[in-house]
A and B are shown apart, each in its own frame.
Chain A
């Protein structure tokens, strides 16, 4: 298992390096980098000044060396809008996002697995058809639209929950509720599909011939096998929440890394954008490793 994980870690690390190279060349080759780092109305003099200080006139490889060196020292520079190191702002935002993503994913995973498994046990039954129908709608829903409809309905008209902020647990309900819908719909469908094919496999027949009860057949024999394809999807969706809650965070004024990123882009605060990219990429890197560990734990055949 160590060999397997080592290989996966190396593969992911290579991807991380690729990402760093990509970000560097995107930021250097798609126009004037001072456009990225400085406000749009910066004077020509300020631009020259910035170029000299940060060595933007040096050869590309020298700049790249410096870029990597800065990354290695976790130095992303100062946020020009916040008067603090970019990394601090990003880590603060990331902590919020992590909480939001973790709570949402735990809820999504648990509910999708239980409901999906039960739906798969009686394919074509009423419960199955309801679950399939609602999961399809969930998977089709645009989150920004759900978010604003939910605000109108629950905050403005009914006044049950606040529209934005993070002050009380009440503040978390709408963002979690909205973020929940799409991953839930998608994962539920994968669980159901995977369970259906697992339940028709030969070892389930053996378990029935042994006189094992239905509940252990579903949740002991079938579930662990059916989880293998599901884990991949859970990982993808969690990654989406770690970085892509941009829309929902900005609608609900949630101070996570997604909102920080989109704000920084609109405010042309590139240092923060860069730090945010690297932090989320690292988070996804770690999460992918966790997924691989989970894979190896669930399936003893994975030992290559």
Chain B
């Protein structure tokens, strides 16, 4: 557009990065709300079990299937009680830990492994790259939910195994993305410039290529977090994920299913927790795609003169 290309002074220094990110987040109100909600959920996951474990497991026969919005009851019962009279609000807060831990564990490990394999596949000789890609194809062509179902059926459905299984099914996503990005970035001139200076392969990969593709991977990871959460919920719903007495939101939906017609809130609230968390992650991922792209970033830095 109207980029002045004279040898004039460069533009003024940008403000501190953290402040700049906050300002860009504030500009997108949906993303800001999403970030706040996710912070709240992370807080629940970290401290919820510590604070509410007792309340969430204490059975109370008088509170069986207690309806929500009965404000004469203690505040933990404001969302109602479950079939054993346990307060739903407390159970949702406590279940946040397992739900988010499984998703976070799976996303972090698949990001790490898939990203690393993608870097190797993108930057090294053809044979290694081919083997890695075919491996990814095998996993991709295998129904991801089904792989989880079968492996959990052969192994024990514990939190650790669940994380491993979900991570394996998501590795190809990061692998393919990082490989494609590496293939593109390694042809860029600044990589050639580093080669001409004598930079080692390790330096080129970690200092020049990785920082460029990292934002893309993080954006995908955010989106994927939502996907993995849904997958875990589905597995728990089918009864082959987390087993009682451990709880996750998906399991809570499944446990409420027999009472659908009489006490809808048993399934409704944990489902809403899932939907709000995934929605927040999607919103945040959308925002990140703009904020981390130097070409698109101006949309979030435009002075608020219009609209």
Contacts and interface: CB of A to CB of B under 8 A. Distances in A.
B149 A262 contact: yes
Nearest to A236: B140
Q: Chain B binding site: helix, strand, loop or mixed by DSSP?
A: helix
A238 interface: no
Interface size class of B (residues with CB under 8 A): 35 or more
Nearest to B133: A11
A237 to B, nearest CB: 12
Nearest to A29: B154
Interface in B241-271: 250, 253-254, 257, 260-261, 264, 267-268, 271
A143 B271 CA distance: 10
Contacts of B257: 148
Contact of B275 (A36, A124, A145): A145
A280 interface: yes
A151 B256 CA distance: 14
Interface residues of A, number: 46
A294 interface: no
A-side interface mostly: helix
Interface stretch (A69-77, A133-141, A209-217): A133-141
Given A141-B275, A142-B233, A247-B237, A148 B267 contact: yes
A239 B264 CA distance: 32
Contacts of A288: 141
A13 to B, nearest CB: 10
Contacts of A31: 154
B40 interface: no
Contacts of A240: 143-144
Given A14-B134, A136-B282, A156 B261 contact: yes
A109 interface: no
B209 interface: no
A182 to B, nearest CB: 8
Interface in A66-96: none
A44 interface: no
Given A261-B146, A261-B149, 19 more contacts: A11-B137, A14-B134, A26-B154, A124-B307, A140-B279, A142-B274, A142-B278, A144-B234, A144-B253, A144-B254, A149-B268, A242-B143, A243-B143, A243-B146, A246-B146, A247-B145, A262-B149, A281-B142, A284-B141
19 contacts: A12-B137, A30-B154, A137-B275, A142-B234, A142-B250, A142-B278, A143-B230, A144-B254, A148-B267, A152-B260, A240-B144, A246-B146, A246-B238, A250-B238, A262-B149, A265-B149, A273-B150, A277-B143, A288-B141
